[in-house]
Amino acid sequence: MARIVGRRTVPWLLSLIGFVVLAPLAVISPIGGAFGLAAMGGFVAILASRRARKLDQRCEKLSGEFDILSQRLVRLETVARLIADQQMRIERARADEAEPAQGKQAGNAAVEAAVEEVTAEIGLLSGIVRELAAVVATQDGEIARLKATPPAGPAPTPVVRPASRQPVLDAPVVPPPSPAFRNETGGTPWVPRAWPPLERSEPVTDRARPDRSRDAVMVAAFDGDGLEVHLQPIVSLPQRKVVSYEALARLRLGADILKPELFLPVLERHGRTTELDRRMLPLVATVARHLSGRGSQAAVTYALSPHSLFEPGFLRTLPRLLVGEPGLSGRLVIALPQSSWRSLDAEQAGALAELRGRVGFALDRPVDLRLDPLALADRGVSQVKVPADLLLRPDSRQAMPDIALDDLVASLSRAGIRLVAESVERESDVPDLIDLDVPLAQGTVFAPARAVRAEVLAATPPQAAPSPVPPPSREPGGDDPEPPPQRRPFRDFLRRAG
């Protein structure tokens, strides 16, 4: 107790004076008590300033001592480094004196290895040049052969498929022979198998040299009536109520239905991906128009190819799909990959900004979950589509966001963006998605993608109302135009003549 009182004598004395003197003085004379309290406050401030000054002097003294210690440590470090360098030079000199021949041999070996490496690289480059020359010569030969080949006969009349899309099990579908595409090995051309319709998405194992006959069959089906539109619903969680749809492109080859993973690489090799988007977008707009006519508020999303963004004037043509139909604004949603959103140039960003309010936007095909909700909302993105495996079972930490997944979903929701968990293939993943507060989901667990009926796609868009005829303008002089002559009865003419 004595130690505590001794170290804090002045505060104890001030407290005692305030309790013994100021309290009765405040009761007897409030003004005197106020002046006494002010005087005590000034005294306390003076004591505090003196104490602060003493502490400042002590800190300066300690900093000076630390400065002296740091200088001594720097000197010791410099001396130790000099000693170590001298010792290393002595050891190096001894090693050079003991084995001069071995050092020369090692230097020669290093030079020889570098020369051999450069020679090998030159050989590889020359081999690549030879292969390119051979490919160019082969293509020149094929072009010359095609020019010399007589034109083929008239193409056979395409067979119209029935509306029920029942599989044909009697005979396989064989594509018409084409002189422009033949196997280099001389074998039979690639023909799709004929069994009940099956969506094929397994990748081809041998991709070293693409099969030209297979590519020809796919391109022929794409140019014909092989392109189909399938719809897969997007449902809300946990109610599982359909809120929108995604339009998926499918390519029918005989009895097989190919997913984009199989035919998109072929279209990319032939430069036809933009044509795919040009053909799909009017069909998707027709589907959105059909849903609106039935009283549905569901929107239709279509995943645009990133190559179409670089097509001159492609984005400028999108408003024509919904011209004259203000009720369909926002019903057509364009989805772009995350890499495309990150690499938009000024022209593309301006074209997308002009589409806001008429066409919705979404982000899909993400490479990671590092999303900026505010930046996406500024660009007009209303949906972010992420695979369920990336949300629940990420491959690495590089794919995870900087914040927790729950916080990511909440931040997207605050910015007006709804997260869609796509490719949900297992029922056991649905409770985990609900725990993460994911609002929307899509996958075969809820409903598979189904083909759109041909009569829906064949519906023609409504024509815009004709503009009203403007009233006749006045003459330059300001007088009304002369009215047309009127027929008067003959009796009226006789009355005027009399």
Segment 218-236, tens digit of pLDDT: 999 999 888 999 999 999 9
What share of the chain has pLDDT > 90, as a percent? 28
| pLDDT value at residue 213 | 83
Q: Which two tokens stand for residue 295?
A: 């009283």
Q: Which residues of 471-485 are buried (b: 16+ CB within 10 A; e: fewer)?
A: eeeeeeeeeeeeeee
| pLDDT value at residue 424 | 94
Contact status, residue 197 vs residue 165, Cβ threshold 8 Å: yes
| pLDDT value at residue 280 | 93
Report whether pLDDT(209) > 70.
no
| pLDDT value at residue 311 | 85
Least confident range from 42-46, 119-123, 301-305, 328-332: namely 119-123
76-105 residue pLDDT tens: 888 888 888 888 888 888 877 776 656 566
119-136 residue pLDDT tens: 766 766 766 777 777 777
Contact status, residue 308 vs residue 273, Cβ threshold 8 Å: yes
The candidate with the shortest Cα–Cα distance to 461, out of 326, 324, 356, is 324
- Per-residue pLDDT averaged across 484-492, rounded? 52
Nearest-10 crossing angle of helices 100-148, 30-98: 100
CA distance 45 to 381: 60
Grouping H, G, I as helix, E, B as strand and the rest as coil, residue 139 is helix
Tally of CA atoms within 13 A in the half-sphere of 81 that contains its CB: 6
Give the pLDDT band of residue 59 (cuts 50, 70, 90): confident
Max Cα distance, the chain (Å): 151
- Per-residue pLDDT averaged across 258-267, rounded? 90
Report whether pLDDT(3) > 60.
no
Give the pLDDT band of residue 479 (cuts 50, 70, 90): very low
Contact status, residue 185 vs residue 209, Cβ threshold 8 Å: no
Report whether pLDDT(14) > 80.
no
The larger pLDDT score, comparing residue 174 to residue 458, is at 458
CA distance 212 to 190: 9
Let me know how many helices (H) and strands (E) the chain has, helices first: 16, 11
How many residues are there in the chain? 498
| pLDDT value at residue 42 | 85
Q: Which two tokens stand for residue 167?
A: 């599989």
Q: How far is CA 87 from CA 73, 76, 80, in A?
A: 21, 17, 11
The DSSP element (H or E) to which 481 belongs, if any, is none
The larger pLDDT score, comparing residue 7 to residue 44, is at 44
Q: In sequence order, which ranges of 167-272 are alpha helices (DSSP H)? A: 212-223, 260-269
Q: Which two tokens stand for residue 176?
A: 């018409």
Neighbours of 22 (CB within 10 A): 17
Q: Which two tokens stand for residue 94?
A: 């001894």
Q: In sequence order, which ranges of 99-211 are alpha helices (DSSP H)? A: 100-148
Residue in the structure block whose two tokens are 């470090």? 77
Contact status, residue 301 vs residue 281, Cβ threshold 8 Å: no
CA distance 194 to 31: 108
| pLDDT value at residue 382 | 94
User: Which DSSP string do the residues of 78-100 spell out, in sequence order?
Assistant: HHHHHHHHHHHHHHHHHHHHH-H
Q: How far is CA 413 from CA 32, 238, 399, 404, 419, in A?
A: 63, 16, 20, 14, 8
| pLDDT value at residue 102 | 62
- Per-residue pLDDT averaged across 190-219, rounded? 57
Q: What pTM was computed for the model?
A: 0.53
CA distance 362 to 333: 7
Q: How far is CA 153 from CA 174, 175, 178, 220, 221, in A?
A: 17, 15, 10, 16, 19
Q: Which two tokens stand for residue 73?
A: 């440590």
Long-range CB contact pairs, 159-164, < 8 A, 24+:
160/225, 161/225, 163/453, 163/454, 163/455
Contact status, residue 377 vs residue 415, Cβ threshold 8 Å: yes
| pLDDT value at residue 56 | 84
- Per-residue pLDDT averaged across 401-425, rounded? 90
| pLDDT value at residue 105 | 65
Give the pLDDT band of residue 463 (cuts 50, 70, 90): low
Most confident range (mean pLDDT) of 166-170, 177-181, 475-479 is 475-479
